A and B are shown apart, each in its own frame.
Chain A
Amino acid sequence: MNGSSIIGLPSVLSVGRTRRRRRIRPHQIAISIFLVMAALFFCVPIYVILVTSFKSMNEVRLGDIFALPQRWTFASWKYAWFAACSGMRCDGVSGGFFNSLFILLPSLVLSISLSMLTGYAMALWDVKWANGLLFVLFVCAVVPFQIIMYPLIKITGFFGIYGTTFGVAVVHAILALPILTLIFRNFFRSIPGELTAAAMIDSGSFWRIFFEIVLPMSGNILIVVLILQITSVWNDFIVGLTFGGHDAQPMTVILNNLALSDTGENNYSVDMAAALLTAAPPLIIYFVLGKFFVQGITAGALKG
């Protein structure tokens, strides 16, 4: 599945070697200590989010950030989901969750179908100017968002989709097009030529070859791209902020408003519960499909 890498890196994270050394040497102990300390550094934030979200605000105020809750309570979770205020609205992050979902689904369909088709046409068919397009897409993949922000606001406004979840989804699909096309193209390039050559002589049908030969072979790459796209759309902030208007803001934007808006003293346990609710979908995907997840993230590297 080398196709998952557009910058010539082999795919990541094969299963670890199983052979182990029996004798433990001093430098191995040092390595282990270092690794454990690094692991602690990476674990502290998630640990703190978890324990804080189960505390009451009175307990948070005691300031013992690392302590387990004396009394576990789901109150903050409930409040974060249903009632926390973000700006003027006080219906928690649940509204944002559904907005994110309604942004995610069309953006997945649009971006994956379009980029897969483009990658297929570029990789397996003899289009003279495909190399030119490849170069342009490569450049587009790194263009900073800010330089196309205003024109995209105007374009989505022109089509009447600015401020809707569908509008945000379309912008996501546009922004993802270059990188996803490059990923698909590289994958299709790795399909052995014999497989398609015969079919091309037989029928020569662009669509039949796509549906009968190419699509059935694309299971793995589809999973990788799907995970990459789910993660980046769900975790996106700026596109949702810019194109979501008042009613179509994704969960990350709601979360950020919520964490900023309670003036005076922040209700940290609610903030932490809301943060965890927002982070949950990609985290679940990561823990379930770790290997594909890492392939997707590294393949989409340029996007980052």
Chain B
Amino acid sequence: MVRWSKVAPQLALIPAVLVTLTAFAGAVGWTIYLSFTNTKRFPDYALVGWKQYFRLFNDELWIRSIQNMVILGLGSLASIVLGFILAALIDKEVRGEGIFRTVFLYPLAVSLIVTGIVWRWLFNPSVGVENFFHSIGWNWLHFNWLASPGTVMNGIILASVWQSTGFFMALMLAGLKGINPEIWKAAKLDGVSFWRVYLEIIIPMMKLTFLTCVILLSIGVVKAYDIVVAMTNGGPGGSSFVPAYFAVNAYWQKENLGYASAAATIMLVITALLFAPFLLFVLFRRRNAT
């Protein structure tokens, strides 16, 4: 009996262990190995060293992809800021709070493909928003962002912010709920202004929530793919490539598996660099807690 109670849980964990070992650990190892080979369409397991990586970092399109990722990351910070502002505003008593909450959060249920298709249409110059503004005489307003390399990333950022702000608002609301309500009372008694309470007390208290948001955002940005496919398909002229798009494109369109693997490996490295501080922090806290 006693022995069985030791064995049963271990048996129950076997499927999960198998999945992590093959589909995750093994698969990651396989891809990393392929990134050091000349594999085109069919595997070729002869090692060629860092060749694919040298090629990658001499490829303008890859450099553009990395730059776009950084631009997307910085631009998407707007969704954290907006998420915090909205959370702070609905957290205080506002009329119609429930309606606002519903409206700000519903984009979360909308897939990035649908988001992208809809925004691509809003950006359409002949029948979209720009046309509307021109028809009421605001000819100075240009909203045809997706057509030019200089503004295409702004368009993608706007659509991403639309989709993800609700998510960060939800995280921020959770953070705000954890703040002792006495603080507002005390601040009110002392006559400290609304803005100063937030800037000097609340935001510093919520730095953990902010950190979480930034890490989640950056990991999401490294993975960004759907929104680019739906809005621009990497265009115009490759100007909205991001790493995930680059890697998938290298595999399916260029049929260059070694190259795609190298790009995917760099994505993994970037994710690891972003995630490591968070992981260390969680482990540290867990150790301290027990």
Contacts and interface: CB of A to CB of B under 8 A. Distances in A.
B119 A45 contact: yes
B20 A140 contact: yes
Given A35-B94, A45-B122, A237-B113, A152 B247 contact: no
> Mostly helix, strand, loop or mixed at chain A's interface?
helix
Nearest to B15: A114
A151 B27 contact: yes
Contact of B9 (A43, A125, A148, A177): A125
Contact of B127 (A63, A137, A174, A304): A63
Interface stretch (B46-54, B146-154, B170-178): B170-178
Contacts of A135: 283
Interface stretch (A83-91, A160-168, A274-282): A274-282
A60 interface: yes
Chain B interface size, under 10 / 10 to 19 / 20 to 34 / 35 or more: 35 or more
Given A35-B89, A200-B5, A147 B248 contact: no
A65 B216 contact: no
Contact of A9 (B6, B95, B119, B209): B209
B68 interface: no
A46 B122 CA distance: 11
A157 interface: no
A76 interface: no
B186 interface: no
A19 interface: yes
A188 interface: no
A31 B220 contact: no
Interface in A14-53: 14, 16-17, 19-21, 27-28, 31-32, 34-35, 38-39, 41-46, 48-49, 52
Chain A interface size, under 10 / 10 to 19 / 20 to 34 / 35 or more: 35 or more
Contacts of A45: 107, 115, 118-119, 122, 162
B216 A301 contact: yes
A122 B10 CA distance: 9
B271 A282 contact: no
A290 B46 CA distance: 53
Interface string B211-249: 010001001101101100110010000000000100110
Interface stretch (A101-109, A190-198, A211-219, A251-259): A251-259
Nearest to B29: A151
Interface stretch (B58-66, B197-205, B261-269): B261-269
Given A13-B170, A144-B244, A255-B114, 16 more contacts: A5-B174, A10-B174, A35-B90, A45-B118, A48-B121, A65-B131, A127-B10, A133-B16, A231-B109, A237-B226, A238-B248, A255-B117, A256-B117, A282-B110, A297-B108, A298-B167
Interface of B: 1-2, 4-6, 8-10, 12-13, 15-17, 19-20, 22-28, 30-32, 34, 82, 86, 89-90, 92-95, 97-115, 117-122, 124, 126-129, 131-132, 135, 162, 165-167, 170-171, 173-175, 177-178, 194, 209, 212, 216, 219-220, 222-223, 225-226, 229-230, 233, 244, 247-248, 251, 257, 260-261, 263-265, 267-268, 271, 275, 279, 282-283, 285
